[in-house]
Structure 1
Amino acid sequence: MKIKLAAISMAAVLSTAAWAQAPVVSVGSSGSVNDRLAELERAFNARSQAQIDQQRQLNALQQEVSELRGLLEEQSYRLEQVVERQRSLLAAQQDAAAQQQAPAASAGRGTAEQDAAASGGGKASAPAGGDEQAAYDNAVNLVLQDKDYDAAIPAFARFITQYPQSTYVPNAHYWLGQLLYAQQRFDQAKAQFTRVVEAYQTSNKRADSILKLGVIAKEQGDNNLARQYFEQVLSEYGSSSAARLAQEYLGGL
């Protein structure tokens, strides 16, 4: 009996040892799990690469949009300058036509009295002297004919200093502000436009000067102040071309 029990015990031990030594792969499931893990890893890597590619495309599109926006702003600025020059030329042509239609008795007064009627505050003024007229015409011609803007700036500044009582002074301040603005000397340009707005209430350049103050405020990032100037143009000069431009600027704020 003891021998039989010992044999049974030995068989049990051998069976247990054989079970413990059996390889795990014999179940047949480990290989498929590894394959699935590898497949999941490949899918994850592919998705990550796709996200990276999409992000690169998005960055490229954002860069293109930024460049297009900058180009649009530049074109808008240039168009504004063209419109401004056309308005100035039209005003000069209207002045010339008015002079030709004036009675012969008033022909000798030249263009000074006509400019005064448009911008001089409603007071009768003496015609400009020869030197005064020549100085103003020279400064204007530097802008309209010679396109020598660097030389026009000191020319207008000298005119204002030499002829402070001239009926052309409001226009000279306005021209000087325009030239300084074109050179992005915004603070100096603002001083010239402010002078027109505050000192020459009936000047035909006042509406445009208020508009330019709004444009400068916008350029300097003060949209609240810009809005105040544009709304002032609409309130005081609602039917003017300056008001139409002010409305467009308000729409862009």
Structure 2
Amino acid sequence: MKFKLAAISMAAVLSTSSWAQAPVTSVGSSGSVNDRLAELERAFSARSQAQIDQQRQLNAMQQEVSELRGLLEEQSYRLEQVIERQRTLLMAQQDAADKPQNAPSAAAQSGGEQTSAQTRQSKESATPASGDEQAAYDNAVNLVLQDKDYDAAIPAFARFITQYPQSSYVPNAHYWLGQLLFTQKRFDQAKAQFARVVEAYQDSNKRADSLLKLGLIAREQGDKDQARQYFDQVLKEYGNTGAARLAQENINGL
């Protein structure tokens, strides 16, 4: 009996000893979980900041591309004007060379020199801008391309349209004004400028891009059906152009 009691006592001691050696962990302790949560929060915050930085870079790149595209179009337009003026001069010289030297023309008999209707029309379309008009337009464009002063460029283009409503640069001025307003997300005002180019200047080299911008504005305002109509119109009227390619990309993204 004593031997049995001793065995039981020894077992109790050994059991107590094993409990003492076991590691003690508090059920309520959650330090490791908090650390992991903090780490996840830091990772999420870093990723969010990276996405914000990427979006800013993308917006800056889009603005630069738009400016470069505008500059290229501006130079192309001015080159076309120079070529048209040269063509007009050559036509006038050819017309003068073809006249008989010993026979007075009807214009000479009436006391003045007349040009053909075609030459006159070409001259009217190629009439260079006046000094003040050219300077006003160049100043507005330079505010965008050189100074990057977009806030000052908006009233500059608006003044140009008001002061020189018959200028050949007016459709370009409407487009630039719309582009500046679009960049500032003033979509309704930008829409009015682009629509003016589309409706009033059918032959403008800015019309395709204006249609494209109207589609982008409709998309930004949540009207996908209207946006698709504008993009389809670009594809229909201006196929195989840069504007058409962008229109197709936007249709694919709707």
Aligned letter for 1:93? Q
Q: In the alignment, is the contact (CA less than 8 A) between 1:207 and 1:237 conserved in 2?
A: yes
Residue 157 (structure 1) shift = 1.0
2:69 aligned residue: 87
Question: How far apart, CA to CA, are the structure 2 residues paired with 1:235 and 1:100?
Answer: 30
1:144 aligned residue: 145
Q: 1:66 to 1:243 in 2, by over 3 A?
A: farther
Question: How far apart, CA to CA, are the structure 1 residues paired with 2:16 and 2:237?
Answer: 85
Residue 45 (structure 1) shift = 4.7
TM-score normalised according to structure 1 size: 0.62
Residue 150 (structure 1) shift = 3.1
Calculate percent identity across the aligned residue pairs: 56
Aligned letter for 2:151? D
Q: In the alignment, is the contact (CA less than 8 A) between 1:197 and 1:209 conserved in 2?
A: yes
1:127 aligned residue: 127
The question of 1:169 aligning with 2:170 is answered: yes
- Where do 1:162-201 residues align within 5 Å? 162-201=163-202
Deviations 1:114-136 (A, max 9, x none): xxxxxxxxxx7473652544433
Q: 1:163 to 1:216 in 2, by over 3 A?
A: same
- Where do 1:102-117 residues align within 5 Å? 102=84, 104=86, 106=88
Deviations 1:137-171 (A, max 9, x none): 34333333444433322221122223334332221
1:112 aligned residue: none
1:224 aligned residue: 224
Aligned letter for 2:141? V
TM-score normalised according to structure 2 size: 0.62
1:54 aligned residue: 36
Question: How far apart, CA to CA, are the structure 1 residues paired with 2:231 and 2:16?
Answer: 76
Aligned letter for 2:224? N
Residue 231 (structure 1) shift = 4.8
Question: How far apart, CA to CA, are the structure 2 residues paired with 1:125 and 1:67?
Answer: 53
Residue 67 (structure 1) shift = 1.6
Question: How far apart, CA to CA, are the structure 2 residues paired with 1:102 and 1:125?
Answer: 8
Q: In the alignment, is the contact (CA less than 8 A) between 1:214 and 1:225 conserved in 2?
A: no
2:120 aligned residue: none
Residue 39 (structure 1) shift = 6.7
Q: In the alignment, is the contact (CA less than 8 A) between 2:216 and 2:227 conserved in 1?
A: no
Q: In the alignment, is the contact (CA less than 8 A) between 2:214 and 2:227 conserved in 1?
A: no
Question: How far apart, CA to CA, are the structure 2 residues paired with 1:105 and 1:206?
Answer: 25
Aligned letter for 2:199? E
1:12 aligned residue: none
Q: 1:236 to 1:97 in 2, by over 3 A?
A: closer
Unmatched runs of 5 consecutive residues or more in structure 2 = 1-8, 91-123
Aligned letter for 1:155? A
The question of 1:63 aligning with 2:45 is answered: yes
| Aligned pairs, number | 210
Residue 74 (structure 1) shift = 1.5
Deviations 1:166-219 (A, max 9, x none): 332221111111222333433322221232233334422122223323444455
Larger Rg: 1
